[in-house]
A and B are shown apart, each in its own frame.
Chain A
């Protein structure tokens, strides 16, 4: 009898790959016949589209020419004719703003960036105050940069308040980053009065603020810019001004309207509801038309209302009504337990609203709020219909220039890119925020 010998069974085949690029491709692109067909279809669409755009915009394009006729003679319609856009590019951005004054627009927007930088500095604590100051004080400063002209006493004071705000923001940002103290506390410390009683310290703070204001007035008073009337405003600059004002106005107004609509006082609730529903149910263009034709009728005879102001008023009211409904959605999502808890702590209506309810409501509605801002930014194109030369209307004007007659697609392409960059950036930011905010709640 032969001895029992251990014979190993033959090796099992190695497991099928479960990871790696090839597996990924097989699983996501060529799993079965329908899937493969879909992949081919998708690839075909993507390749056709991308090559068509690249061919037209880069490979077949004309980069140097004097007129559209020249472009057409060179490549016909198969390639883009960029020189027309180059010639008009400055107008697309700044409108008909005098060329030697364009630096004022640049400075104005640069100031906004400078103002907002502390919001992203990690050690700065007073971010809410800085944000608020940007909304409340920056517009005065910017509007003088953009508009210029004679400034009376009140106007000077307001612009000085803007400058005051800017200096305060950076003083706060610096002291908080470097010493961890607010400006006032730091100043008192430097003066060696940390031990002084509260009233004295308050007096020092107020005195310093007042001194700073006097300095700003002295700085502002001699500065005098040439007036650039709003008829010359246009292009991307005008688009940003209108949407900027719309955005700044719509948030606070929307909050008030939403609170009003949910108010227990029937008169207030009805008025707010009527306003919101009226403005939400008609198209923006009818509101623009209405303000354009009827605002002069509504005001006392002889009052001149600038066309830009009419458009801005219409956009602001429209945006506020939409914002109100978004905020109301957020308010409704707050569980009633929160209200009850606030009441049991003895908080009044405004304390409950500002300290408990609104922070939570605004936080959950951030994506929708940003979405509304994007919509507003896109909707500003409608002011072109009542004759303002915003970014889109400027692009259309290129094709009516006698040198570049009929050149529509190229400027529209560029302008589309500009709009896309702005809107896509905003939507990415909001998605990013959404992900950050929901990080604690998500369960996967």
Chain B
């Protein structure tokens, strides 16, 4: 084999300025400087346009309007609000409503998603098919469409208050909303809450103690069962003994229900649609998490003769949770963001009362948009910070 000589090229004429660009560090510095320059020029252009436009339209970008009375009513609030309250108050009302929707939907979606996810894994064929159809139908249609369909198709068509659907125990459903009994504090409430807290603390302590004893001596203790008995039994007994709350029942008076507490139909539609939609994603997350545990782990547990519930609790779940938790949290964030679709059916969440009504009333586009985005960013960054810490703790240490 002969080695062919390289075709020799004449050396490139050396130009010092271009030669410097061959150095990776210089090149990267130049690129970064140019990017920064471009971004600054772009921002400057936008800011100067905005200032000019604001001047033309006689608008101001300041936050001074926050102390001004907003002067419009809000249909549903969970923190006290009157028409004369300030814009700042409106902002907080919106945040409270958004968080309420998010929290209620998250709880419902998690419970339902867990059930559907397990049903999807069931070895009963027909249950698997029903669960799978449910997931595919809900997941492949837009959430906004579902919210609107629930609102116009179901909760708006419910009967008038006079022919309401009584669900028993004071729960009433009609086209004005969902009525439920409201708790009224009585004398024994403090002691009751104290006892409940003690029961929960006792159960947690018991669980930790039994884990430690198990690791040290190998003797097991039915901590879960005893703990459950504590957490359920103590409050139940205390409730009967102390009667800490009385219930204010909704009653039909004239054309509408009085007493109790109620949520508007838009809230019901939003909660049902959001939790149904999210539960499908959670179901798939649960399924993939459980399926991600290698079969060998189950076989190993079998070889050690672990009882089935131990296999589930000590072998499958800890490993599945590592896969489940991160996407689950991101679903929770999605619920919070998706609750902004409330605006389509007129439920007063943050986007609806703040970015829509307040913006139109006050015309302060820039501070209002900035505050809304700041709220969502804060929530999402806070959650991802917690998640990063969690991931660091749980991830397997690899190379």
Contacts and interface: CB of A to CB of B under 8 A. Distances in A.
Interface stretch (A98-106, A114-122, A381-389): A381-389
Given A77-B157, A289-B359, A419-B145, 13 more contacts: A43-B126, A281-B381, A283-B338, A286-B369, A286-B372, A286-B376, A289-B351, A289-B356, A293-B359, A294-B365, A396-B148, A409-B152, A409-B153
Interface in A410-437: 412, 415-416, 419-420, 423-424, 427
A290 to B, nearest CB: 5
Contact of A408 (B32, B153, B381): B153
B126 A379 contact: no
Q: Which 10 A-B pairs have the closest CB atoms?
A: A281-B380, A423-B140, A42-B126, A378-B142, A283-B337, A267-B32, A283-B340, A408-B152, A28-B125, A381-B142
A39 B365 contact: no
Contact of B148 (A39, A264, A392): A392
Contact of A382 (B130, B136, B149, B341): B341
B308 to A, nearest CB: 14
A268 B32 contact: yes
Interface stretch (B45-53, B203-211, B219-227): B45-53
B373 A374 contact: no
B357 to A, nearest CB: 12
Interface in B131-177: 133, 136-137, 139-145, 148-149, 152-153, 157
Contact of A46 (B130, B141, B333, B365): B130
B96 interface: no
What does DSSP make chain B's interface, helix, strand, loop or mixed? helix
Interface stretch (A128-136, A227-235, A295-303): A295-303
A370 to B, nearest CB: 12
Given A39-B126, A267-B36, A298 B141 contact: no
A298 B50 contact: yes
Contacts of A396: 148, 152
Interface string B354-393: 0110010000011001001100110111000000000000
A271 interface: yes
B396 interface: no
Contacts, number: 159
B130 A42 contact: yes
Nearest to B28: A265
B193 interface: no
Contacts of B127: 38-39, 41-42
Contacts of A265: 28, 31-32
Interface of A: 28-29, 35, 38-39, 41-43, 45-46, 77, 264-268, 271, 277-278, 280-286, 289-290, 293-294, 296-301, 374, 378-379, 381-382, 384-385, 392, 396, 399, 408-409, 412, 415-416, 419-420, 423-424, 427
B214 interface: no
Contact of A419 (B129, B142, B366): B142
A385 B50 contact: no
Contact of B351 (A35, A285, A408): A285
A379 B145 CA distance: 10
A266 B124 contact: no
Contact of A286 (B50, B152, B351): B351
A266 B381 contact: no
B230 interface: no
A385 B365 contact: no
B195 to A, nearest CB: 36
Given A282-B373, A293-B359, A392 B50 contact: no
B100 interface: no
B41 to A, nearest CB: 14
B298 interface: no
Contact of A278 (B136, B341, B373): B373
Contact of A290 (B153, B369, B379): B369
Nearest to A50: B133
Given A392-B144, A424-B140, A298 B46 contact: yes
A264 B24 CA distance: 11
Contacts of A427: 136, 140
A438 to B, nearest CB: 14
B152 A296 contact: no
B49 A300 contact: yes
A289 B127 CA distance: 43
B145 A416 contact: yes
Contacts of A283: 337-338, 340-341, 351, 376
A296 B130 contact: no
B140 A374 contact: yes
Contacts of B381: 277, 281
B12 interface: no
A412 B35 contact: no
A39 B148 CA distance: 33
Contact of B377 (A28, A42, A281, A297): A281
Nearest to B372: A286
B56 interface: yes
B122 interface: yes
Nearest to A27: B123
A8 to B, nearest CB: 40
Contacts of B107: none
B343 interface: yes
Contacts of A280: 380
Contacts of A379: 142
Contacts of B122: 38
A297 B50 contact: yes
A280 B336 CA distance: 12
A264 B341 CA distance: 39
B39 A285 contact: no
B54 interface: yes
B279 to A, nearest CB: 15
B49 A282 contact: no
Contacts of A42: 124, 126-127, 129-130
Contacts of B366: 294, 297
A378 B372 CA distance: 23
Contacts of B351: 283, 285-286, 289
21 contacts: A35-B124, A38-B124, A39-B126, A42-B124, A42-B129, A268-B31, A277-B380, A281-B380, A282-B373, A283-B341, A285-B340, A286-B369, A286-B373, A297-B365, A298-B50, A381-B142, A399-B152, A412-B153, A423-B140, A424-B136, A427-B136
A286 B355 contact: yes
B280 to A, nearest CB: 12
A244 B164 CA distance: 46
B20 interface: no
Which residue among A280, A282, A385 has the maximum number of chain B CB atoms within 10 Å of its CB? A282
B13 to A, nearest CB: 22
B377 A278 contact: yes
